[in-house]
């Protein structure tokens, strides 16, 4: 007997869920439990938690970073059913906030005091009293302020600053909202080491790597004078902007450019960024330092040495 193909509508639905489906969705599409087991046995699907399956056929390590994070978020939502709410880092991933670690733990919350039991690596968090939520399709996730309050205390410091910067940069939250989120984070485990980050978050940072580099400079005692310093374009076009800049004692600017794989991974983007940087150097108006993620930590030390501080 020929195998029944996976219903196209189910695969379309999976695309909206980072390639994942749950057993209830599979059954609703007409697949039997035996057919689902067969898909797993043949390696066409991958079981990632009880009743949750990856239909993409693409190994996690080969997926883009953002896709991996969204996959973790959807794994949590599907593992705990229709009432689950994405929280913390998973909620930030679904909000499109950048700067999270490449791998985040699947986590969700359930309302109304449901017993807290994790499932096969999927974390069930306590549902915060008063937590506000929004929707992605039919699913709920914590609003950005609550997600930041939950995630920032648990993240490495560099990632914590990066998500705060990204939330501001994307307009997902404003300065006052960030203050409220900071207040909501107080008392959580790990928050004490992040208090300073809430006050230095800056929406002018355009990529996580810029945030990582800036934190390295802050920790080395050489905070940038400004971010996104405009430099006159040699052809009279819109000003060129630099990632970080320091005003020297003689009035000349030292600028640092951060070249990031995740931001500039596409060849066209790499070329455009290199062309922009070459134009900046060619103006002769500033001194330029160029860094990649491999230079971290160390950006701050280099800047301090060049500035002679």
Which residues, in sequence order, are CB contacts of 167 under 8 Å at separation 6+?
Answer: 92, 95, 97, 144, 148, 173, 178, 201
Task: Give Cα 227 to chain centroid, integer Å.
Answer: 21
Kindly report the pTM of this predicted structure: 0.91
Q: What is the pLDDT along the chain (309 residues), one digit of tens a residue?
A: 457 789 999 999 999 999 999 999 999 999 999 999 999 999 999 999 999 999 999 999 999 999 999 999 999 999 999 999 999 999 999 999 999 999 999 999 998 755 667 778 899 998 889 999 999 888 999 999 999 999 999 999 999 999 999 999 999 999 999 999 999 999 999 999 999 999 999 999 999 999 999 999 999 999 999 999 998 877 767 788 899 999 999 999 999 999 875 544 455 555 566 666 777 776 677 899 999 999 999 999 999 999 997
What whole-number distance in Å separates Cα of residue 145 and Cα of residue 264?
28
Q: What is the pLDDT of residue 240?
A: 85
Whole-number pLDDT of residue 280 = 74
Quick one: 180 exposed, middle or buried, by C-beta within 10 A (0-12, 13-18, 19+)?
A: middle
Question: What pLDDT sits at residue 282?
Answer: 62
- Nearest-angstrom CA–CA distance, 147 and 136: 14
Query: What six digits make up the tokens of 224?
Result: 């940038």
| Residue 174: per-residue pLDDT | 98
CA neighbor of 180 nearest in space, from 212, 204, 147: 147
Contacts by residues 257-261 (CB-CB < 8 Å, ≥ 24 positions apart)? 257/288, 257/289, 257/290, 257/291, 258/207, 258/209, 258/210, 258/212, 258/213, 258/291, 258/292, 258/299, 259/209, 259/290, 259/291, 259/292, 260/207, 260/208, 260/209, 260/210, 260/292, 260/293, 261/292, 261/293
User: 38: burial class by Cβ within 10 Å (0-12, 13-18, 19+)?
Assistant: middle
Give residue limits of the domains in the chain. Answer: 58-203, 208-307
| Cα separation, 23 vs 78, whole angstroms | 9
CA-to-CA separations, 109 to 39, 95, 129, 163, in angstroms, rounded: 30, 16, 11, 21
Per DSSP, the three-state class of 299 is helix
Give the model's pLDDT for residue 87.
98
Bridge partners of 240, per DSSP, are: 231
């Amino acid at each position: 007997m020929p195998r029944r193909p996976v219903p196209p509508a189910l695969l379309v639905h999976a695309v909206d869920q980072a390639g994942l489906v749950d057993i209830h969705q599979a059954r609703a599409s007409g697949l039997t439990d035996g057919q689902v087991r067969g898909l797993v046995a043949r390696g066409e699907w991958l079981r990632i938690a009880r009743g949750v399956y990856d239909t993409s056929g693409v190994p996690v390590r080969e997926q883009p970073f953002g896709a991996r994070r969204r996959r973790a978020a959807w794994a949590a939502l599907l593992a705990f059913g229709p009432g689950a709410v994405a929280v913390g880092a998973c909620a930030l991933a679904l909000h499109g906030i950048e700067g999270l670690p490449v791998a985040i733990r699947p986590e969700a919350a359930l309302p109304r005091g449901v017993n807290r039991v994790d499932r096969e690596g999927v974390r069930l968090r306590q549902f915060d009293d008063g937590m506000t939520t929004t929707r992605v399709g039919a699913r709920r996730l914590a609003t950005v302020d609550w997600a930041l309050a939950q995630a920032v205390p648990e993240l490495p410091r560099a990632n914590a600053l990066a998500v705060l910067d990204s939330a501001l940069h994307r307009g997902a939250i404003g300065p006052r909202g960030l203050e409220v989120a900071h207040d909501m984070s107080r008392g959580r485990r790990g928050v004490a080491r992040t208090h300073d980050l809430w006050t230095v978050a800056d929406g002018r940072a355009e990529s996580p790597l810029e945030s990582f580099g800036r934190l390295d400079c802050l920790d080395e005692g050489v905070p940038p004078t400004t971010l996104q310093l405009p430099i006159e374009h040699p052809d009279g076009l819109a000003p060129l902007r630099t990632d970080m800049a320091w005003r020297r004692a003689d009035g000349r600017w030292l600028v640092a450019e951060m070249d990031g794989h995740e931001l500039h991974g596409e060849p066209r983007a790499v070329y455009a960024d290199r062309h922009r940087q070459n134009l900046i150097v060619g103006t002769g108006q500033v001194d330029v330092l160029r860094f990649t993620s491999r230079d971290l930590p160390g950006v701050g030390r280099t800047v301090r040495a060049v500035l002679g501080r």
